[in-house]
Amino acid sequence: MKNAIKIAIYAMTATVSLSAVADNAVPTESALKWYEQGEMATQKAMMDARKAASNSRKRAKNIILFVGDGMGVSTVTAARIYDGQLKGNTGEENRLFFETLPYQAMAKTYNTNQQTPDSAGTMTAMMTGMKSKAGVISVGQAMERGNCSNLAGNTLTTALEHAEKIGMSTGIVSTARITHATPAATYAHVSDRNYEDDRDASKFADVSGCKDIASQLIDLKDRYGNGLEVALGGGRKNFIQRVQGADPENGGRGEREDGRDLTAEWQSNYPNSSYIWNQAQFDAVDVDATDHLLGLFNMSHMEYEEDRGSDVGGEPSLSEMTGKAIEILEKNKKGFFLHVESGRIDHAHHAGNAQRALLDTIEFANAVKKAYEMTDPRDTLIIVTADHSHVFTIAGYPTRGNSILGKVVQNDASGNPKLSPKLAKDDLPFTTLGYTNGLGFADLAIGGDTRYGEPNAAGVRTDLTNVDTEGQGFHQEAMVPLGSETHAAEDVAIYASGPGASLFQGTVEQNVIFHVMNKAGRLSKRSKLTPVK
């Protein structure tokens, strides 16, 4: 019967010839090949389901939680196409590595007090199993943001802290400051995400009941287990003292005013520890002799992947940091918990700069692949998700293979690509990618932490006829003028493999991610409210 169907389809259908704009290679396709591709995908899914059923009862020795900050479904789709086009293909048929993981679900991202969420509340949900307010870090929703007076009794134990308690090794990796909201929610408890170092205390009326986030990272060993084994990312300024002028040894000037050098404390408080801040030191790390590694590669956030290496001393990539972290963590026979964040996807979107957001997403996928290849899928639960999405759109009926960063070129009545971009009602061309709100069009070569372009052109149309919309300095047009593009409220995807991955089914609340990790890793019987020590 199957062969008869295939023969009938083949007899009725001629090979489909697809043409693409520019020089992208078009795969040879036919109706029969599409049928066979679907059949093979279904057979693979059935095999994966059988494997997962036998694996679901096993304990996850290792847990790796990947979070693409701001990586909504439209970002994944656009990055998939961009990655394929960078490889010389049309792009649409491509898949990022994490899209090949066997289990998927959708997560609802709202905070308890906001329809459109922020990263602090969403990561709190993922790490503690309880949703909470926007802006607070691993504390319950009864907390008033910025008020530390009732912190005691309202802190929520995180998955990383549970892992420390049962003897697992733990680590965090991020391209953002490691005191930023997403990584901070793994180890810190504070009523406002902006209390990253002691100097930030001036922003609040009273922080006497709270510790700054950087201090909590160093002091974790006083609360749970033996503290973090690995912490790699940006945010050096929150750990070193404020001095007159630049500190050449650390590549910049710190912000701390309490006299503490937390990098020195890390080295004195942790056995077999090391602190590094540049690429050369990173490359020279002796993994066998290092049990606790702190790496702070930028004073603030690390560079976008597009700009990596422009900072003083250079910076490792997200996939390089992920690999180094696993090398250190896997030495523990009891297993490990690792959180990896691609933090700057979010920042590029806030700036309206899709190219940098997509390139960071591609590198994020590379990091997932690195982790998968370095671990055993039979004992390692890998979860890939986002904390929230952005008001980032893909639209305009472009032809197959049209540059994802380019102007929209549509097909003619015969289904073949036209020779020039489609014009809108105002007789101006437009791009496939755009933003609902934000700063709007700019055509600048930006770098480092220069997030926003000038002039502010949101809410008006620009003639893009002679503008290179594929350049790294191009910022997409936006409809509603705002000082920064905003998050969006739709669900985000979850991709997973390993023990417990089959528990991700359908549409779930975001806090379910914690409970899957908790069950699969047998981290604790129940997450609970704990007093501050």
Strands 169-177 and 336-342: parallel
3-state SS class at 530: strand
Residue 320's CB: how many other CB atoms inside 10 A? 19
Residue tagged active-site, from 17, 56, 74, 119: 119
**Amino acid letter, residue 501:** A
d(CA 379, CA 501): 11
Write out the H or E segment, with its range, that includes residue 235: none
Tell which phi-psi region holds residue 2, choosing left (phi > 0), alpha (psi between -120 and 50) or beta. Answer: alpha
β-pair partners for 108: 509
d(CA 136, CA 120): 6
Q: What are phi and psi of 260, to 5 degrees?
A: -90, 135
d(CA 420, CA 464): 13
Half-sphere exposure of 331 (CA within 13 A, CB side): 14
Residue 142's CB: how many other CB atoms inside 10 A? 12
Residues composing the chain: 533
- The DSSP code sequence of 82-116 is HHHHHTTB-STT---GGGGSSEEEEEE--BTTBSS
Token pair of 167 as six digits: 């003897």
Contact between 529 and 145 under an 8 Å Cβ cutoff? The reply is no
Token pair of 150 as six digits: 């009732």
d(CA 67, CA 494): 10
Three state DSSP letters for 142-182: CCCCCCCCCCCCCEECCHHHHHHHCCCEEEEEEEEECCCHH
Strands 62-68 and 380-386: parallel
Write out the H or E segment, with its range, that includes residue 389: strand 389-390
455 prior amide bond cis, ω within 30: yes
3-state SS class at 503: helix
Q: What are phi and psi of 519, to 5 degrees?
A: -70, -45
Active site (annotated) includes residue 342: no
d(CA 28, CA 348): 35
Residues 6+ apart with CB under 8 A from 522: 59, 166
Residues 6+ apart with CB under 8 A from 42: none
Number of H helices, E strands in the chain: 13, 19
CA atoms 301, 306, 309, 312: torsion sign: negative
Point out the residues that are catalytic.
119
